[in-house]
Chains A and B, each alone.
Chain A
Amino acid sequence: MGGVNLEKQAPNVVVWLLLLALPYWLPAIGGYTELGSRVVVLGLAAMSLNFLLGYTGVLSFGHAAYFGLGAYGAGMTIRYLVPSTGLGIVIGTLVGTVAAAIIGPLIIRLRGVYFAMVTIAFGQVFYFIAFRWNSVTGGDDGLTGWTRQPLHFGFATVDILHNNVAFYYLILAVFALAVGVMAWLLGSPFGRTLIAIRENERRACFLGIPVDQHIWISWVISCGFVSVAGALYALLNNFVDPRALYWSQSGDFVIMAVLGGMRSFWGPLIGAAIFVVLQDYLSSQTQNWMSFVGLFFVLVVLFFPRGVLGIIRRRIRA
């Protein structure tokens, strides 16, 4: 075929244009740049989860653990080791990825509900470590006493602490890198194999595909990218607390992916945008925002199980 398929590329172009211009249009419609940063960071987390959930068909309910490990990794690197934002992200990512790789062999043989239950239970270990290890993690009060550090490029220094727009573009750059790698992986033979496993695991097995091994690798990749998001999240707040690791955070990621559409690449990002804006709005309006978030979960399951993009796609086809 060759050439660029315009119709296929159109959504990508729209998403990237919107993201690149976000600091200019979001304040104009009543938002603020930090809200945009939150959407991109949590969107990355939800897209990473969807690598496993939507493309490999494995139901993880424990991704908050690796998100939180990335966050603590980044925060503690800057607090205790080196005051460097870049190194914080790298080490945070490594911590989350290595933990996922170690947990992996224990869970990859499990499927469905059982997998969900075990992943969510394992996540609690890290929660309790962060909660109990007061002297290092700050316990329940969270890890404070550090801020994201200026970026040094040799020729220039960028202050990302006070300049929210500059920090947004740092986040977007990391997001672009992560999302680019994910898109490339999904388009590769490896990614196609994952989809084959999702569609029919038994058949994939008959074809000689080492299914457990693929699920393990997919799990590690997915958790690795979620810990990138976690590291960015810590930088965004200049703070980490154990709630980043708590199981309800995992549920938030899953609902973002489902809400946006698990079968589409950009779906989870859209889900994250809706979720973040809604939560931001509800928590400013009512004390009982938890009820509304809960009700929102229920409504999504009952009425929008295919997500926003799933519905749009159906409309287009019909």
Chain B
Amino acid sequence: MTQLILFNVFNGLIVGAFYALMALGLSLILNLSGVINFAHGGFLAIGGYLAFTLIPYVGFWGGLILAPLLTALIGLLVERVLIRRVYGRDPLYSLLLTFGLAFMLEDGTRFIWGAQSLPYQVPGWLLSPLSSSYFFLTGYRLFMVLIVGIAVIGLFLILGRTRLGIRIRAGTLDLETVSVLGVNVRMLRNLNFGLGIYLAGLAGVLAAGMLGLQPTIGTSLIMPSFVAIIIGGLGSLPGTLLGGLLIGVASGVTTVFFPSATEAVIYVMMAAVLLIRPRGLLGEEGRF
């Protein structure tokens, strides 16, 4: 029993790390540009599929590095051509725009790579269990946690230490002032969008190794990411991280005791948070 719970807690942490990675990207974009990017799941799928296509040429590590970067490039382009046009307009329009974009990305993935699920090769040494009593601790799972950890630390370092990161944070608080101070806000939003999409692409590469590739892979991850943001508190990136891990573990533990509520439990948590603390666990008062 203990092992079963432990297994599911660990599993939940991995799933939660995915949600967090995805939700962090969504949060970045939402905080600076006020856009909820429904197409985030579509970018995640593109990241996974790009890695699948690249690996025969550049190897596993090459795919891990290149695929998210290429996804981010696509993100930069999409922001330039489409997303940019709805900044400052009623949030309704950005929702509809990214909604339509999500359809196009999912269908486009299906068109290019086919609807059937594709196998994704992970190096053999990553697949073997590390110990016989804790059979679930395969190398790949630990590896994923490690990569997510590095990505998250990297993100917070970028935001905390670099000029770009400081500008992003300042823009989140008061974009107008940042603009007046001579920062190219269009460029800033563009790069910020790319950064968010990079995280989605990375999540896609990692998810492909665990879940295999289907065109709908991103669609199933986007709603929990919303919940992670709401639970963690809008406007707070540490909150988003916490929210993602929390709902991952919660649904993992629920799998043990009440399997049919695995998906629903996170929405119950969201309801509880909204009831008790509408701004979310780490959200600031009065921001939304």
CB within 8 Å of B: which residues of A?
53, 59, 61, 106-107, 109-114, 116-118, 120-122, 124-125, 128-129, 131-133, 247-248, 251, 254-255, 258, 288, 290-291, 293-298, 300-302, 305
Contacts and interface: CB of A to CB of B under 8 A. Distances in A.
B103 interface: yes
Given A124-B267, A251-B99, A297-B97, A133 B274 contact: no
A109 B278 contact: yes
A122 B103 contact: no
B85 interface: yes
Nearest to A247: B223
Contact of A116 (B36, B261, B263): B36
Contacts of A255: 96, 99-100
Given A290-B103, A294-B100, 17 more contacts: A59-B90, A110-B278, A117-B230, A118-B230, A118-B270, A121-B230, A128-B263, A128-B264, A129-B264, A132-B261, A254-B92, A258-B96, A291-B107, A294-B99, A294-B103, A298-B101, A302-B85
A129 B118 CA distance: 29
B82 interface: yes
Given A294-B104, A302-B85, A117 B93 contact: no
A61 B91 CA distance: 11
Nearest to A53: B92
A125 B92 contact: no
B86 interface: yes
Nearest to A294: B103
B288 interface: yes
B264 A301 contact: no
Contact of B93 (A106, A122, A125, A305): A305
B70 interface: no
A53 B93 CA distance: 13
A295 B268 CA distance: 34
Interface of B: 30, 34, 36, 38, 82, 85-86, 89-93, 95-97, 99-108, 110-111, 223, 226-227, 229-230, 234, 260-261, 263-264, 267-268, 270-271, 274-275, 278, 288
B86 A301 contact: yes
A125 B264 contact: yes
Given A59-B91, A59-B92, A258-B92, A120 B267 contact: no
24 contacts: A59-B92, A59-B95, A61-B95, A106-B271, A118-B230, A118-B270, A121-B226, A121-B270, A122-B267, A124-B263, A124-B267, A125-B267, A128-B263, A132-B264, A251-B38, A254-B92, A254-B96, A255-B100, A290-B104, A294-B99, A294-B100, A294-B107, A297-B100, A305-B89
B100 A121 contact: no
Contacts of A258: 92, 96
A61 B95 CA distance: 9
A220 B78 CA distance: 37
B227 A121 contact: yes
Nearest to A109: B278
Nearest to B275: A106
A113 B103 contact: no
A293 B100 CA distance: 7
A256 B83 CA distance: 21
A80 to B, nearest CB: 20
Contacts of A106: 271, 274-275
Contacts of A298: 82, 97, 100-101, 104
Nearest to A250: B99
The listed residue with most B CB atoms (<10 A of its CB), out of A128, A131, A254, is A128
B288 A118 contact: no
Given A290-B106, A294-B102, A117 B96 contact: no
Contact of B107 (A59, A118, A290): A290
B246 to A, nearest CB: 15
Contacts of A113: 30, 34, 36, 91, 95, 288
